[in-house]
């Protein structure tokens, strides 16, 4: 799927989780970093793709992307699995622990979950594509939904575009039907 669909899926999943939990007080710093972490988590698995926007924006990105691609075993490999999720989760937690002394207003727990939810949404979305996702690596089987490959989404094609619009519609419907909770969440940002 394209980065745009992943961004939307990540924020929709995160919004859903936030609205279904009892609202708690967070600082502006936490709220902002959580959204950024969620978006990074939402595209993080695609660092194994040399043409990913993630790499295209770096000066030596093309070359570095290819190198990382080889190291990670090619597209849709380790970063698209539960093992990858654990590795990224542990790594991101270590990074947050490192940043905490200089950003004491940041709630590590909330930011970490925002990242993880973004990353899980990525794997779930990719499961709907033709290539599938090797969830259970090292078991080399790529899972896909629906199980019949021809019914799945081809990245960038009209089915993905309708997926995007559908997701957007569901997100808007959900947030408007939970308007009071949504306002309440914003009232908990101090
Ligand atoms: Zn992917």
Tell me the CA–centroid distance for residue 76 and ligand 1, in Å: 6
Tell me the CA–centroid distance for residue 75 and ligand 1, in Å: 8
**For residue 32, with 0-12 CB atoms within 10 Å meaning exposed, 13-18 middle and 19 or more buried, which class applies?**
middle
Tell me the CA–centroid distance for residue 102 and ligand 1, in Å: 32
Mean pLDDT (whole number) for 35-52: 87
Q: What pLDDT digit, counting tens, does each position of 6-17 carry?
A: 999 999 999 999
Q: What pLDDT digit, counting tens, does each position of 86-123 carry?
A: 999 999 999 999 999 999 999 999 999 999 999 999 99
DSSP tag of 153? B
CA distance 35 to 55: 21
Query: Sorting pLDDT into bands at 50, 70 and 90, what band is 156?
Result: confident
Tell me the CA–centroid distance for residue 122 and ligand 1, in Å: 6
pLDDT at res. 1: 84
């Amino acid at each position: 799927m394209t980065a745009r669909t992943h961004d939307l899926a990540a924020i929709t999943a995160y919004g859903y989780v936030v609205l279904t939990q009892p609202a708690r007080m967070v600082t502006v710093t936490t709220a902002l970093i959580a959204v950024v972490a969620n978006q990074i988590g939402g595209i993080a698995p695609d660092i194994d793709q040399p043409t990913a926007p993630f790499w295209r924006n770096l000066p030596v990105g093309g070359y570095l992307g290819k190198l990382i691609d080889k190291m990670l075993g090619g597209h849709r490999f380790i970063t698209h699995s539960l093992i990858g999720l654990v590795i990224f989760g542990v790594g991101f937690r270590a990074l947050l622990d490192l940043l905490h002394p200089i950003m004491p207003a940041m709630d590590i727990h909330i930011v970490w979950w925002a990242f993880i939810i973004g990353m899980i949404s990525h794997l779930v979305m990719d499961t709907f594509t033709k290539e599938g996702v090797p969830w259970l690596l090292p078991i080399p089987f790529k899972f896909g939904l629906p199980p019949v490959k021809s019914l799945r989404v081809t990245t960038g094609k009209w089915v993905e575009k309708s997926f995007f619009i559908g997701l957007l519609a569901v997100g808007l419907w959900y947030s408007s039907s939970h308007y009071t909770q949504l306002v309440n969440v914003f009232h908990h940002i101090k």
